[in-house]
Amino acid sequence: MKEIIHLIKKDFILEWRQKYALNGMILYVISTVFVCYISFKLKVSSIEKITWNTLFWIILLFSAVNSITKSFIQEKAGRQIYYFTLANPQSVIISKIIYNIGLMLFLGFLGFVVYFALMGNQAENVPMFLLSIVLGALGFSSSLTLIAGIASKADNSSGLMAVLSFPVILPILTMLIRLSKNAMDGLAFSSSYDEIITLMGIDLIVIALSYVLFPYLWKS
Amino acid sequence: MKKTWWKILTVILLFYVVIWGLLGPVPRQPILNETIRNVYFHVPMWFSMMTLMVTSLVYSIKYLRKGRINDDTYALGFASVAIVLGIIGFVTGSAWGNFTWGDPLPRDPKLIAVEVGMLIYSAYFVLRGSFEDEQKKARLAAVYNIFAFATFMPLVWILPRLTDSLHPGNGGNPAFGKYDMDNAMKIVFYAANIGWILMGVWVSSLVIRIRLVQNQLNEKN
Per residue of chain B (221 residues), what is the pLDDT tens digit? 567 888 888 888 888 888 888 887 777 777 777 777 888 888 888 889 989 999 999 999 999 998 888 899 999 999 999 999 989 988 888 888 888 877 777 777 778 888 888 888 889 998 888 888 888 888 889 999 998 888 887 777 776 666 666 676 554 454 555 556 677 778 888 888 899 999 999 999 999 999 999 988 988 87
Report yes or no on B191 lying in a domain. Answer: no
Number of domains in chain B: 1
**B119 with A154: Cβ contact below 8 A:** no
Task: Examine residue B17 and state whether it is found in any structural domain, yes or no.
Answer: no
Q: What is the pLDDT of residues B69-98, one digit of tens each?
A: 889 999 999 999 999 998 998 888 888 888
Give phi and psi for B172, each to the nearest 5: 85, -10
CB distance from B156 to chain A under 8 Å? no
Report the alpha-carbon distance of residue B37 to residue B139 in Å, rounded.
43
Q: Find, among A213, A216, A211, the residue nearest to A98 by Cα.
A: A211
Question: Who among A154, A198, A209 is closest to B130 (CB)?
Answer: A154
CB of B124 within 8 A of CB of B86? no
Which residues of B fall within a CB distance of 8 Å from A154?
127, 130-131
Residue pair B59/B71 in contact by the 8 Å Cβ criterion = yes
How many Å separate Cα A92 from the centre of its chain? Answer: 18
Range of the structural domain that residue B105 is part of: 42-173+196-220
Position B188 in a domain: no
Cross-chain residue pair B127–A164, CB shorter than 8 Å? yes
The predicted pLDDT at position A42 comes to 63
Q: Is the ipTM of this complex over 0.85?
A: no
Q: Do B158 and A209 touch (CB under 8 A)?
A: no
Give the nearest partner residue to B162 out of A150, A168, A194, using CB atoms.
A194
Q: Show the domain range for A41.
A: 2-219
How many domains is chain A partitioned into structurally? 1
DSSP string for chain B: -TT-HHHHHHHHHHHHHHHHHHHS-----TTTGGGGGGGGTHHHHHHHHHHHHHHHHHHHHHHHHH--HHHHHHHHHHHHHHHHHHHHHHHHHHHHHHHHTS-SS---HHHHHHHHHHHHHHHHHHHHHT--SHHHHHHHHHHHHHHHHHHHHHHHHTHHHHS--SSTTSTTPPPHHHHT--HHHHHHHHHHHHHHHHHHHHHHHHHHHHHHHHHHHHHH-
Chain A: residues touching B (Cβ < 8 Å)? 143, 146-147, 150, 153-156, 160, 163-164, 166-168, 170-172, 174-175, 194-195, 198, 201-202, 205-206, 209-210, 213, 216-217, 219-220
Inter-chain CB proximity B123 and A198 less than 8 Å: no
